[in-house]
Amino acid sequence: MGVFSESVEVVCSSAGQPLSLVWQNRTYEIEAEPLRWYQRRKWWEEELRAERGRGAGLVDHEIWRVQARVNDRSELRTLDIVHQVDTGRWRLLKIHDAVQDLSA
């Protein structure tokens, strides 16, 4: 399983769209329309089981590319966050402006 270095907390709209996230104890408000896609996983390498009825999150992960800032004055950062549908957890995958890939 890819190692996501940091867990984040995300508040979503009723439609499941992220509105804000908490990263390193700071709350980021998500601006603009986030982009969402589903990224395939090499589950046969990363998982120990793939039993029937396993459900969502085995074959792909839900990924959101969001633009967020702490407040009006701070800079807008582009972040990729992954929603692990099976566990409901969110993790930070990539910080674009920092060109720092955390998923290595």
Partner 1 sequence: MSFTHLHVSTAFSAHYGVSWPEDLAGTAAGDGADALACTDRDGLYGTVKHLKACMAAGIDPIVGVDLAVLRDGQVSGRVVVLAHGELQGAGYRALCRLISDAHANTGAHSRKPVGVTLEELASRCLDPVTLAPVLTVLIGPHSDVGQALRTRSYSTARSLFTRWLAVLPAGSVTAEVVTHLSPPGEALSTAHGVRLFKLARERNVPAVLTNAVRYCGIDGAATADVLDSARALTALGKLTDLQPNGQGWLKTPAQMESLAREIAKAADLGAPGAADLLSATGKLADRCRMDPAADMGWKQPVVPEASVIGIDQDPVTELWQRCEAGIGRRFGAISGSDERKLRERLNHEMQIIDRLGFSSYFLTVAEVSKMIIEMGIRAAARGSGASSLVNYLINVSQVNPLNHDLIFERFLSQDRSTLPDIDIDVESAERHNVYHRIFERFGAERVTLMSMQNGYRARGAVRDAGLALGMNEDDVGTIAKQLWRFSAAKFREAMAEKPELRDFSSRVEQNQQLDLLVDLTERLDRLPRHISMHPCGVILGDKNLLDRTPVQPSGLGLPMSQFDKHDMDPMGMLKLDVLGVRMQSAMAYALKEIIRIHPSRQEVAQAGRHRNVTGGVPDYIAGDGRINLEAVPFDDEPTYELIRSTHTLGCFQIESPGQRELIGKLAPREFNDLIIDISLFRPGPMKSDMVRPFLEHRHGWAPESYPHPDLKPALAETHGVTVFHEQVLRTFDVFTGCGMAKADELRRLLGRGEAEPGVEDFFRKESAARGYPPAVVDKVWNTLKAFGSFGFCKAHGAAFAVPTYQSAWLKAHHPEAFLAGIWEHDPGMYPRRLLVAEARRMGIPILPLDINRSTGEYRVERIDGGKLGIRLSLAGIYGLSHTELKRIVAGQPYDSLADLRTRARVGRASMKRLAQLGAFDSLNQHVHGPGNRADLIHHLNSSPSRPAQRRHEPIEGQLSLPLGDLELANLKPGLPEPPMEEKVRTELDLLALDVSAHLMDSYRPILEELGVTESAKLLDLRNGTEVIVAGIRVATQTPPMRGGRRVVFISIDDGTGCVDCTFFHEAQEQAGPLLFCTRLLLIKGLTRRTGPRGMSLQATNAWDLSNTETLPLARNRKPLALGR
- Residues lying near partner 1 in the complex (CB under 8 A) are found at 15, 35-40, 42-45, 47-56, 58-60, 63
| CB burial readout 63-102, b (16+ within 10 A) else e | bbebbbeeeeeeeebebbbbbeeeeeebbbbbbeeeeeeb
CA–CA dist 66, 87 (Å, integer): 21
Tokens for 7? 């867990």
CB 51 → partner 1: shortest distance, Å?
5
CB 42 → partner 1: shortest distance, Å?
7
Q: Which is nearer to partner 1, 85 or 95 (CB)?
A: 85
Q: Which is nearer to partner 1, 15 or 75 (CB)?
A: 15
CA–CA dist 70, 79 (Å, integer): 13
CB 102 → partner 1: shortest distance, Å?
18
CB 47 → partner 1: shortest distance, Å?
7
Q: Which is nearer to partner 1, 6 or 46 (CB)?
A: 46
Q: Which is nearer to partner 1, 41 or 69 (CB)?
A: 41
For residue 42, count CB atoms less than 10 angstroms from its CB and return exposed for 0-12, middle for 13-18, buried for 19 or more. Answer: exposed
